[in-house]
Structure 1
């Protein structure tokens, strides 16, 4: 009985951590590292610590999302997506708060180690990235857990945050940790990665649009309405692929790098399903397909950059 209880407890934390979301956290780090490798400035320790920090921040965001949505009532029996740990009673709110503190500590420690490895005693660089790291921690928690006000995820600003943290900051920040300088060309794939990550969020928000609207969670999809949110989704995909094409033409890349465009097929298939069905289970599958396609995009482009 004790072993069974421990197993249920472990499964509850695994449910709250939402492993299916972790590809997005890894995608920006892998792409930033691939861009650095193309500039002959790759550092394996930076890659590994950046991955650990990004995964910890994503898990923290997921735990905060589980806690915040349960506290606000956004997660209830009418929710379409997978069950949440706090709302379903698998984990108590105090336990979730403790889990958030532990995860935040892991993210902070791994992030500090990352900065020391990357910058040594360059304290100005370290201080700048500490501020960026603090902003990432704050953004992860306050997406659905407001500090003295409505969480920004409930006001339609989640898309902007995802674009910045999973695209521009995630990719370019990782690139800078390796190279310690920036150029304009990496902005193109960084923006494309952010747009694809935003598309993942949009699938989630379109799937949950009715329940979110009922519970006062005003995502961008709720603000736009279903039809315009789907048009917005197509625009995200189209712009991401266009920016990638411009980058591939502007900078010589091996054929493996060009193969990143193959993800257009599953992304378009998922978008077509989003356009034609309201079935929650099917849309959850399309959410997973879009997230995996975003990771595959980063992996293929990174390998292509490394091989050139």
Structure 2
């Protein structure tokens, strides 16, 4: 019996951590590293610690999302997405809060080790990135939990946060950790990465648009309405691919770098499904396809740049 309880708890924590979302959290780190390698600057310790920090932050965000949606009543019996640990009773709110604290501490420790490894005793750089790290922790928690008010994810601001943290800050921050310099050209793929990550969120929000609206979770998709949210989705994909194309031409990138454009077809296939169906299971599959394509975009472009 005791073994069964332990297995049930382990399954609940794995469910709450949502491991399928973790590869997407690594996309910006991998792309920033590829950009740095292209600039002849690569530190494997920085890559490892940056990945651990990003994974810890994503798990924290997932735990907070599980807790926050249960606390605000945004999860109900009609919800399409994966089962949530707190709302289903697998974990208590108190246990989830403890899990969030432990994960936040782990993310902070990984982040501090990352900064010390990248910058040594350059305290100005460390302080700047500590502030960015604190902002990342705060954003991860307050997406659905909120601090003294409505969570920003319920006010249509989640897209902006994803674009910043999974795009500009994630990619350019990683690039700077390796190179300790800024360059204008890497901002193009950084923006593209952020736009694709935002597209992943938008598929999720279009899928859940009816239940979110019913439960007062006013995502950007709810604000726009389904038809405009789909147009918005096409704009995200189109701009991301256009900026990537400009980057590849201006660099100029090696032939291997152009392989990242292979993700255009699965991204377009998933976007077309938004027009064709309201079926939750189908859209969940398209959500996975969009997320995997975003990760592959970063991996393929990173490899191509590292080989240059």
Which category of TM-score, normalised to the shorter sequence, fits these structures?
over 0.9
> Post-superposition shift, 1:303?
0.3
Q: Does 1:231 pair with 2:262?
A: no
Q: Number of residue pairs matched?
A: 308
> Post-superposition shift, 1:8?
1.3
**Superposed, which structure 2 residues align to 1:1-308 within 5 Å?**
1-308=1-308
SS at match of 1:147: coil
Q: Partners of 1:18 and 1:254 in 2: how far apart?
A: 36
Question: Unpaired runs of 5+ in structure 2?
Answer: none
Q: Partners of 2:242 and 2:196 in 1: how far apart?
A: 12
Q: Partners of 2:294 and 2:122 in 1: how far apart?
A: 34
Once the two structures are superposed, residues 43-77 of structure 1 have per-residue CA deviations (whole angstroms, 9 ceiling, x without a partner) of 00000000000000000000000000000000111
Q: Partners of 2:274 and 2:167 in 1: how far apart?
A: 23
Q: Partners of 2:89 and 2:274 in 1: how far apart?
A: 31
The CA RMSD over aligned residues, in Å, is 0.6
Once the two structures are superposed, residues 162-209 of structure 1 have per-residue CA deviations (whole angstroms, 9 ceiling, x without a partner) of 000000000000000000010100000000000000000000000000
> Post-superposition shift, 1:252?
2.1
> Post-superposition shift, 1:5?
1.8
- TM-score for the superposition, normalised by structure 2: 0.99
Q: Partners of 2:7 and 2:291 in 1: how far apart?
A: 28
> Post-superposition shift, 1:253?
1.7
Q: Partners of 1:274 and 1:19 in 2: how far apart?
A: 24
SS at match of 1:53: helix
Q: Partners of 2:110 and 2:177 in 1: how far apart?
A: 14
- TM-score for the superposition, normalised by structure 1: 0.99
Q: Partners of 2:223 and 2:28 in 1: how far apart?
A: 28
Q: Partners of 1:86 and 1:147 in 2: how far apart?
A: 19
> Post-superposition shift, 1:23?
1.6
> Post-superposition shift, 1:2?
2.0
SS at match of 1:107: helix
Deviation beyond 3 Å, 4+ runs, structure 1: none
Question: Unpaired runs of 5+ in structure 1?
Answer: none
